[in-house]
Structure 1
Amino acid sequence: MSKSAPYATFSSFVNFSNKLREDGVPNRIDKTVFGAASGSVIYSTISALKSLDLIDENGIPSKQFVEFVNASDEDRKQILRDILRVGYSSLWDSSIDLETATAGQFDEHLREVYDVKGSTVDKSAAFFISAANFAEVPLSSHLKARKPIASSSSSRKSSKQRKKNNGNDLKAENELPIQPPAPAKPLEHQLVDLMTEDDLDADVKDAIWKLVQYLTAKRAKSNGFD
């Protein structure tokens, strides 16, 4: 099984590290040490820590993570460089050169080596680029200028649609009967659909399922089925 790549935001990773620098590093990292952070931040940050070998499967922090947390912002740069070399070991072998790589090459590497799929490519790329910039890891200007794939695709689609509406199809579209919008799915149904996404880990799916159960019970109660 391929090693996973962090998909949390780098700011969440740093903010959590700063919190531990103030509160002290516990002997286990679990969701109870995140304070008021949202479920998505908690689970994505824990996943990132595991991916970077900063905690083990039981949440036990490594000596390197404790060192990183307690270091000054300046000293964290060198420690993070070492962390990235271990967490993304394939990026420092002959398969890719970070100082000359294009954004496309980097995205392909994430997909092939780390099995990153869909919109998670954007999240994983953003984490690494932000972390590398903080750690002063040399990156190509092409990689630093990477644009999110999802928004670029959406933008191209919108542009094509605008061109279509400005052409001969505009008249035909205006002659079509106006259809009322389809009723929105209940939130719990949308959440169940979300659970089918391939890039969700087990902890996130568990959190979503608990929310589905809560919403279903609440709806039943409001409908008089309690």
Structure 2
Amino acid sequence: MTIVEIYSESLTDAQWEIAHAIAQTLVKENTDVNELGKTVAYLRASIHQPDTTSRFFKYLKTLVSNGRQIGHSGRTTDYYRSIDKVCSDYLKGIQDAYTILQILGWVSRLMRYYKDAGPIGEIQPPSVESLRQAEIGKVITTHDFAVGQILEAIVTAIKGNKVTYEIMETVKLTEKEPKKAQLLTEGQKVKVEILDLKEDGNIKKIKCTD
């Protein structure tokens, strides 16, 4: 089996990079893939509950705290600690539980592949941009943006006549607002209009309408 054979179009490039790094990290630390499977099963079973993502990360902390009592070997706590750390490092920026479930499902497959593939060299962690793009990709697939559409945004930065807006807590765009920059404040909620879209459906250009 090759990496190409286990690649899935259901993952974006950024999500694939994250899954790749998590799997390599866990295999390098000799983490039991069956213990990861338990966390995946928990997430799948609770996927429809409110605040699923925050519940999942709390569950990982609980496993670390109670590893000695619920573990089957002396290393169980170490397994849970590794899983908790790598998930916190690479998945905390992803709010959608379905996306996390999809990534971890592939991590389980990749761990089995890398375990048999020989020694793993230096692991290249996902870039901050990749982590952000993974979440942006989810926003794009769940929202049909259109030119002329009005959205809520938060002003996150103002530098001269350039204003940075954040939309849906994920998409950040910086636009020149010569007439409005001095009237806005950081943290302010405003309405913005979509002026242009990228080929992938993401927002390319906006303007403040307030």
- Regarding TM over 0.5, the answer is no
Q: Where is the helix percentage greater, Structure 1 or Structure 2?
A: 1
Larger Rg: 1
Q: Where is the strand percentage greater, Structure 1 or Structure 2?
A: 2
